[in-house]
Copies of this chain bind each other. A is one copy, B any other.
Amino acid sequence: MLSERRLQVLRAIVQDYVGTQEPVGSKALTERHNLRVSPATVRNDMAALEEEGYIAQPHTSAGRVPTDKGYRLFVDKLADVKPLSRAERRAIRSFLESAVDLDDVVGRTVRLLAQLTRQVAVVQYPSLSRSTVRHVELLALAPARVMLVLITDTGRVEQRVIDCPAPIGEASLADLRARLNARIAGERFTEVPRLVQDLPESFDAEDRGTVQSVLATLLETLVEETEERLMIGGTANLTRFGQDFPLTIRPVLEALEEQVVLLKLLGEAGNSEMTVRIGRENAHEGLTSTSVVAVGYGSGDEAVAKLGVVGPTRMDYPGTMGAVRAVARYVGQILAEK
């Protein structure tokens, strides 16, 4: 087990390295943090920390740099989430409050998070899987063509055009619309399949095929859209990444364009607990030199989606975590008010 002072040394190393981006040596450490011991002692501690794999030297006779394991320990044991200032919180709130619709909320959240953390922000659209149906609308576009519009309680709208096997009359369509809404409005998505199961039976034989098509499309939409969309922003902050550019940045940009990768990344994050994935802890190849800080947010008690930031492993964890947590909270509040 590491002594208290060694942990302090590790903490100091992380803090300095995050600040300067340069390997930190024993002398500089004792000067900047009042550790009350001499550089020589710190050197011994550093040797021990290196032995344990918490820090490393880029090359002999250079300062030390934290390893992924070092950051891990720092995040788990040594760092407190840094709360935002009152002014910042107020700014967040008022910025988010002036959003006009869901797209705007998400867009603003992304920009906010990117600006606060000066890193790349990723925000998932509120999920359909947890949410409920507010309304289903059916419109006849042509005799045998129907448009299905699904509206969720989070304010999201999905639409699909359906080619029907047979023409359907206005009356039957209105009937279907009414019955459908009576059954599933206000219900969870997961409940929908069960609730509409026997619906076709109550229709005339001639309309039954069409009803089945509509229901099939509805269920498909629910499933398909459970895989969410997301918005990213602040990619310009990647330029602050490091010096050896193309090599570092390229795979990150590529990963960021792969929605699937990002969704998986966010999916692995905890809902109420903030999750920090450091360097190689990230499964994806291109993100092994980044850390991801993510958390769920939601309107009310339950998390409906995730948001987070992607940045270099050498990031200001307390600050980033503070910003992510605060933004998640406020977005949740805003959504709940809508």
Contact = CB atoms under 8 A, between A and B. Distances in A.
Main secondary structure of the interface of A (DSSP, over half): mixed
A123 interface: no
Contact of A235 (B103, B135, B229, B253): B253
B151 A147 contact: yes
Contacts of A155: 159, 161
B141 A139 contact: no
Nearest to A137: B137
Contacts of A151: 139, 147, 149, 159
Nearest to A254: B236
A147 to B, nearest CB: 7
Contacts of A88: none
A246 interface: yes
A72 interface: no
A7 to B, nearest CB: 35
Contacts of A139: 135, 137, 151
Contact of A239 (B103, B157, B249, B338): B249
A233 interface: yes
Interface residues of A, number: 32
A141 B151 CA distance: 11
A80 interface: no
Interface string A148-160: 0101000101011
Interface string A227-263: 0010001111011100001100110011011000000
A93 interface: no
A239 B246 contact: yes
A101 interface: yes
A335 B100 CA distance: 29
A284 interface: no
Interface string A124-144: 000000000011010101000
B253 A238 contact: yes
B149 A141 contact: no
B235 A257 contact: yes
By CB atoms of chain B within 10 A, which of A157, A233, A239, A249 has the most? A239
A97 B139 CA distance: 24
B157 A149 contact: yes
By CB atoms of chain B within 10 A, which of A229, A236, A250 has the most? A236
3 nearest interchain CB pairs? A236-B253, A245-B245, A239-B250
